[in-house]
């Protein structure tokens, strides 16, 4: 059984490393120029517990959805370079950073976006946010922020998971990005429309419906049937081949997505994983294994949880269970919906360990590997690409020919 599992996982992990395929965001393959108008449906796996990016229950999906709703001091371009968004200028002197804000930035209620909003957002930020490298921040008038801290690239840091909220608080009725929320239905989806008060380059799409999908299998079928236009698809077994067979376009990149363990038994479990059986040698050749496994003592019986609908994590969970059974360790498999798994189970999980995906390094976790992130689409949509680590960072640049 162990040999079979090893072979199965070698195939699974090979599927996470296709050649990167990306689109030119400035022009379609037929040479078409961007034009405004139209709507699309965008699929994501599961539903976030909250849309407040600074809530304790915020997840990577939370940040993905608020990317087009709230501005940051800096943002990522489609080619992954950075550009000012709220910031008008930045001056760096040692560990002091002075950022001036543009005058025309407004919330959807017409109020100006000020330095007080930036500082209040920094105060609420959590580990993992770009704001977390800032040791101190204060206002110097309504349009100037003074921060202290150390960073190699301040613009990139402040473009990463550091949205500015009105006085640091989430309010779905008051946003400040190129899109605004016009409808939200729990268990179904969120409808965004182009914001008439947006002060940057106008979004090309008129409307985007973000639809919550229960599993990767359902997501791929909806794409094939053209009931989804675009989807953020978790890497899984033979994904590139499955997309090609369905006639779907895709772009895949290493943009910081990792598979990690967390929980009280995370370090011990990571130390017990058989790297050869999980295909880690092959991943190491592709640069995907993130260091040596941690060490520790596993309890004689424990549970490992994964989110429902994530094929690759479920397959890994089963393989680890088989490995540990060969050593006389009983491991139970648990799963729950994505919102609970990445929400309340972050703080209090019934499992001693969880296997999950994160964008970038997540505090308190032990990394197993990095994997490619995918965007797949079923129709003629232009401008799709990776700005930062999540697919909706450059949503205002997407368009229908």
Q: What region, left, alpha or beta, does residue 324 occupy, with left being phi > 0 and alpha being psi -120 to 50 degrees?
A: alpha
Model confidence at 379, pLDDT cuts 50, 70, 90, reads confident
C-alpha count within 13 angstroms, C-beta hemisphere, residue 271: 10
Domain of 139: which CATH number?
A: 3.90.76.10
Residue 321 lies in a domain: yes
Residue 244 lies in a domain: yes
**Same-domain pairing of 268 and 360:** yes
Please name the residues in contact with 95: beta carbons below 8 A apart, sequence gap of 6 or more. 135, 148, 149, 150
Measured CA angle at 177 (ends 148, 170), to 5 deg: 70
**Same-domain pairing of 330 and 242:** no
For the record, the structure tokens of 272 come out as 């017990």
The pLDDT score that the predictor gives to residue 13 is 39
Residue 22 lies in a domain: no
Residue 28 lies in a domain: no
Q: What pLDDT, in 10s, does the model give residues 346-374?
A: 888 999 999 999 987 777 898 888 888 99
Distance from C-alpha of 236 to C-alpha of 86, rounded to nearest angstrom: 37
Please name the residues in contact with 141: beta carbons below 8 A apart, sequence gap of 6 or more. 115
Average pLDDT for residues 186-207, to the nearest whole number?
Answer: 94
Of 136, 168, 200, which marks where a domain is finished? 168
CA 371 from centroid of its chain's CA atoms: 12
Residue 221 lies in a domain: yes
Distance from C-alpha of 260 to C-alpha of 270, rounded to nearest angstrom: 9
Phi, psi (5° rounding) for residue 265?
Answer: -100, 15
Residue 31 lies in a domain: no
Of 134, 168, 202, which marks where a domain is finished? 168
**Same-domain pairing of 265 and 365:** yes
Which structural domain range is residue 114 located in? 74-168
Of 121, 137, 168, which marks where a domain is finished? 168
Using alpha carbons, list the distances in angstroms from residue 251 to 27, 29, 240. Answer: 16, 14, 10
Residue 132 lies in a domain: yes
Please name the residues in contact with 150: beta carbons below 8 A apart, sequence gap of 6 or more. 95, 133
**Same-domain pairing of 60 and 183:** yes
CA 174 from centroid of its chain's CA atoms: 23
How many C-beta atoms lie closer than 10 Å to residue 52's C-beta? 18
Domain of 349: which CATH number?
A: 3.40.190
Rg (CA), the chain: 21
Distance from C-alpha of 184 to C-alpha of 242, rounded to nearest angstrom: 31
Residue 34 lies in a domain: no
Nearest by Cα to 228 from 207, 243, 213: 213
What is the tally of structural domains in the chain?
3
Q: What pLDDT, in 10s, does the model give residues 236-273?
A: 878 888 999 999 999 988 888 998 999 999 989 988 88
Q: What pLDDT, in 10s, does the model give residues 387-397?
A: 888 999 999 99
Task: Identify the three-state secondary structure at position 363.
Answer: coil
High-pLDDT (> 70) share of the chain, %: 87
**Same-domain pairing of 226 and 275:** no
Domain of 212: which CATH number?
A: 3.40.190.10
- Say if residue 174's pLDDT is above 90: yes
Using alpha carbons, list the distances in angstroms from residue 186 to 43, 46, 165, 189, 191. Answer: 15, 11, 22, 7, 12
Local structure of residue 346 (DSSP, 8 states): G
**Same-domain pairing of 368 and 381:** no
**Same-domain pairing of 97 and 137:** yes
**Same-domain pairing of 262 and 333:** yes
**Same-domain pairing of 101 and 235:** no
Q: What pLDDT, in 10s, does the model give residues 125-147?
A: 988 899 999 999 999 999 999 99
Residue 346 · residue 57 · CB < 8 Å: yes
Distance from C-alpha of 397 to C-alpha of 84, rounded to nearest angstrom: 16
**Same-domain pairing of 101 and 137:** yes
**Same-domain pairing of 392 and 357:** no
Measured CA angle at 213 (ends 210, 219), to 5 deg: 105
**Same-domain pairing of 368 and 281:** yes
Residue 257 · residue 356 · CB < 8 Å: no
């Amino acid at each position: 059984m162990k040999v079979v599992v090893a072979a199965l996982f070698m195939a699974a992990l090979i599927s996470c490393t296709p050649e990167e395929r990306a689109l030119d965001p400035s022009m379609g393959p037929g040479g078409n120029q961007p034009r405004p108008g139209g709507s699309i449906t965008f699929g994501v796996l599961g539903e976030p517990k909250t849309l407040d990016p600074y809530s304790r229950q915020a997840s990577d999906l939370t940040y993905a959805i608020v990317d087009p709703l709230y501005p940051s001091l800096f943002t990522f371009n489609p080619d992954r370079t950075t550009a000012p968004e709220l910031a008008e200028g930045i001056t760096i002197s040692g560990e002091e950073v002075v950022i001036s804000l543009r005058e025309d930035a407004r919330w959807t209620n017409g109020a100006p976006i000020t330095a007080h909003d930036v500082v209040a957002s920094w105060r609420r930020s959590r580990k993992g946010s770009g704001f977390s490298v800032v040791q101190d921040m204060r206002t110097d008038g309504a349009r100037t922020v003074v921060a202290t801290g150390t960073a190699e690239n301040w613009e990139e840091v402040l473009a990463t998971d550091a949205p500015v909220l009105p006085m640091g608080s989430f309010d779905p009725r008051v946003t400040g990005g190129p899109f605004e929320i016009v409808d939200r239905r729990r268990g179904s989806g969120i409808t965004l429309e182009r914001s008439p008060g947006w002060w940057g380059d106008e979004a090309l799409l008129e409307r985007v419906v973000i639809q919550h999908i229960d599993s990767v299998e359902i997501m791929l079928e909806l794409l094939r049937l053209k009931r989804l236009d675009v989807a953020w698809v978790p890497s899984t077994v033979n994904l590139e081949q499955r997309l090609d067979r369905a006639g779907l376009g895709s772009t895949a990149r290493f943009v910081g997505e990792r598979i990690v363990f967390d929980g009280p038994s995370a370090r011990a479990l990571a130390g017990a994983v058989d790297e050869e059986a999980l295909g880690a040698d092959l991943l190491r050749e592709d640069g995907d294994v993130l260091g040596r496994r941690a060490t520790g003592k596993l309890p004689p019986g424990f549970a490992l949880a994964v989110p429902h609908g994530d094929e690759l994590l479920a397959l890994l969970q089963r393989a680890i269970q088989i490995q540990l059974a060969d050593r006389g360790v009983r491991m139970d498999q648990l799963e729950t919906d994505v919102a609970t798994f990445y929400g309340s189970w972050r703080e209090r999980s019934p499992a001693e360990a969880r296997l999950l995906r994160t964008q970038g390094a997540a505090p308190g976790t032990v990394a197993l590997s990095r994997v490619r992130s995918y965007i797949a689409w079923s129709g003629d949509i232009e401008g799709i690409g990776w700005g930062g680590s999540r697919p909706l960072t450059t949503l205002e640049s997407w368009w229908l020919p």
